[in-house]
Structure 1
Amino acid sequence: MKEFSVKIALIGATGYVGSKLLPEALARGHHITAIAKNPETLPQHELLTSLCADVTDTHALSECLTGHDQVISAFNPGTDPFGSGVRALIAGVKKAGISRFLTVGGAGSLRLPSGGRVIDQPDFPAEWKAGALLTIAFLDLLHTEKELDWVFLSPSALLVPGERTGKYRVGKDDLLIDADGKSHISLEDYAVAMLDEAEKPQHHRERFTVGY
């Protein structure tokens, strides 16, 4: 039996990462309000409420978020070239009176052993660079935020569907690399790490990273 449940608003619940965060949160017995552009695609569950909202609409978003303990955002800043979405998202969370804000981050700003960033390496995929820069800009914006108790969770370099082991390592600003020289984590274990942080906060107004 779950000792406690958190009332969580999950933004982007049908996306690449959000679709893994949702079942992990429900399996833990938390009450989830899933916010998506196409909520009709979400499953039926006694702990799940599905709502349609656009993150660029601060007023509508704040109405969806009001009354929750935390917000977890899986909104992809890489799809937001003008930054209007992330700014409206932050404003909506604050307008709803919620201080605890967890967001899916990227690996591009993590440091390598050489001291350079992942995004600045010659072999960084060109097709990912624009989106990664926008995600870095989101992190920079959060660093100026004084009201929210925010957390930006960066995955390892490779984040793909796989096995839920429930095990992972935690880092701060450096890319985690395993004994074989790989930097990776499954979407399932990334979701485990995010919900672990939601249940037992260890980070406040900072970025951290997870990997194997």
Structure 2
Amino acid sequence: MKNIVLIGATGYVGSAILNELIQRQYNVTAIARNTTSVSNSSLVKKVALDITDKAKLVDALKGADIVISAFNAGWTNPNLYNDFTTGANAIHEAVKEAGVSRLIVIGGAGTLYIKPGLQLVDTPDFPDFIKPGATAVRDYFENILAKESAFKWTYFSPAMEMNPNNPGKRTGHYRIGTNTPVFDSESRSRVSVEDVAVAITDEIENEQFLNKQFTIGY
């Protein structure tokens, strides 16, 4: 059984991933700035730290088979672009220094192409308050992660809508895409955060997207 480190374990996506990993009986080191809300499962080791503290982060990652980064600098953060970039780079470098062989990054739907040459983040209707974060995620993916050769990586983009109409629903079923949205019969790109967690855990086990981007939808 793989030893998993989950960064951002208390966030919206991170907490769903943690629940799925526990359900599948993985040993998980759960990292967050404050871990008081993290599950008390015997499978979980809680580590409270600031990811910009490089020495502590490297120490926490040593011995991991896979690091999952669900890091989010906060959508309402006025310094979102810079804070995400700093955090993502810190995690990236710590993974290398700790000698971890694989990193799975939870990115954003903004990096998906809605037509050739046009990513969602660059469309006129993309929400202004999300754009700095989505742009930071896109820049990290394209300029740093996609060029990495020291470890295997996977970049995940969720559907354009997460948990629409059915919050808290885990179906265990989804369809897979790469760098374009997966649309359903109603021409919507949507998925629950619980099924995002299913897809990430499936990727841990199946290794379908090594050094690749993927997305899911119903």
Indicate which of 146, 170, 179 corresponds to 2:176: 170
1:208 aligns with 2:214: yes
SS at match of 1:108: helix
Paired position in structure 2 for 1:149: 152
SS at match of 1:122: coil
TM-score by length of 1: 0.93
Q: Percent identity?
A: 41
| Paired residues, number | 208
Matches within 5 A, 1:170-209: 170-209=176-215
Matches within 5 A, 1:23-34: 23-34=19-30
Indicate which of 51, 55, 59 corresponds to 1:63: 59
SS at match of 1:81: helix
TM-score by length of 2: 0.91
Cα offset, 1:115, TM superposition: 5.1
Aligned residues of 1:77 and 1:134 also touching (Cα < 8 A): no
Summarize deviations over 1:60-95 as a string: whole Å, max 9, x none: 101001111111110026745152211111111111
Aligned residues of 2:112 and 2:120 also touching (Cα < 8 A): yes
13-22 or 112-121: bigger deviation: 112-121
Summarize deviations over 1:154-212 as a string: whole Å, max 9, x none: 00101134310000111111111111011111000000000000112111111111111
Paired position in structure 2 for 1:12: 8
Cα offset, 1:17, TM superposition: 0.5
Aligned residues of 1:77 and 1:135 also touching (Cα < 8 A): no
For structure 1, the residue ranges without an aligned partner over 5 or more in a row are none
CA distance in 2, matches of 1:164, 1:130: 30
CA distance in 2, matches of 1:43, 1:210: 27
Root mean square deviation, CA, Å: 1.4
Aligned residues of 1:167 and 1:189 also touching (Cα < 8 A): yes
CA distance in 1, matches of 2:91, 2:130: 23
For structure 2, the residue ranges without an aligned partner over 5 or more in a row are 75-79
SS at match of 2:149: coil
